[in-house]
Structure 1
């Protein structure tokens, strides 16, 4: 391959600027970025170990594979990094952006979500996890109402799928933003 090949010159349509930056970051910086995506250390370690990624799709595939391999303890660690729906982390723009469907919710809906979140957490021992991006408050309420009747095993696999969606959205933000862009 010549040095003018798109793969050797850094940023290309297949390798956006954020992916190049992630691939070339020192381990500590890359690990911190991955921790912002998913609080599971096992997930982050698996993605870190496979750098560099030729394309964003390769990174997403590695994320999906790592998510599929998470143990129950790894999932619990990942979920601990997510605030309850309707109560985004103060000062965390990612949390606020992802939960924007609850921003305009009525006080009644917010109170109902709090009650449902507490009942869900009591039953399953962790926050209700859903890929909230693009969902309304009513859709999230309906989802928790439906899912609270699941068995712990069913819910663990649904949570794994929702976590995978969230991780992809967050990884997309990393790989698509050039240095200095607001992510």
Structure 2
């Protein structure tokens, strides 16, 4: 049963395709990922949605993974709540880190960009700036193929976390009210 006031899977299903697409694009900035996830619906339960999201991501070509990475700011970079609320929330611990840690993150991010050609991506939720820096330093030792696999795995974790949060929080910016917890859905859906 969804948390009172949360969107939930039923609420997500009742949205228009355009609204669902907009929400999915907020989870992952790959348009192909969002379209393919949406095409797998309606979903019988949240696990089916999460599994579909994982499968679609695993099948995306590298060029589309790069499009997904475009939606992720560097760890430790200034992130606006307006521009990227999810990243700002996920990286919240970094904002209070010591300036020396932030400077080291910036330097290692640049080194990572130069070595691998894309932004360092890690599921930052619940992790301290120091932990994120240690992970980054360790991953700099990876070869390009290994790092690409690790980055895809981290992107899947982030997408999953964002989807779970999307369904468990009140809907925003989609022009709908959260479904009533006790009311059965009206009509046959979309």
Cα deviation, residue 146, structure 1: 0.7
Q: Give the TM-score normalised by the residue count of structure 2.
A: 0.83
Aligned position for 1:117: 109
Match runs of 1:125-144 below 5 Å: 125-144=117-136
Deviation at 1:88, TM superposition (A): 4.2
1:119-171 Cα shifts (integer Å, max 9, x gaps): 10111111100000011111110111011121111111101100010001100
Q: Is the 8 A contact 2:75 2:109 kept in 1?
A: yes
Query: 1:8 maps to what in 2?
Result: none
1:30 — aligned with what?
A: 20
Question: How many matched pairs?
Answer: 168
Alignment match, 2:86:
94
Contact 2:7 2:166 in 1 (8 A): no
- Report matched runs for 1:1-183 at 5 Å: 12=1, 17-90=7-80, 91=82, 92-179=84-171
1:178 CA displacement: 3.7
Q: Distance in 2 between matches of 1:46 and 1:70?
A: 10
- Tell me the C-alpha RMSD between the 2 structures: 1.6
The CA deviation string for residues 17-59 of structure 1, in whole angstroms up to 9 with x for no partner, is 4211221211111111011000112211111101111111111
Task: Verify the 8 A CA contact 1:113 1:141 in the aligned structure 2.
Answer: yes
Q: Distance in 1 between matches of 2:125 and 2:145?
A: 25
Following superposition, the deviation at residue 87 of structure 1 comes to 1.2
Cα separation, 1, equivalents of 2:112 and 2:73: 13
| Residue aligned with 2:34, SS | helix
> Structure 2: any 5+ residue segments left out of the alignment?
172-176, 179-190
Matched-pair contact (CA < 8 Å) for 1:88–1:95: no
Q: After superposition, what is the alpha-carbon deviation per residue over 1:100-119, rounded to whole angstroms, capped at 9, x for unaligned?
A: 12121100000000000011
Distance 2:67 2:86 in 1: 18
Q: Is the 8 A contact 1:19 1:174 kept in 2?
A: no
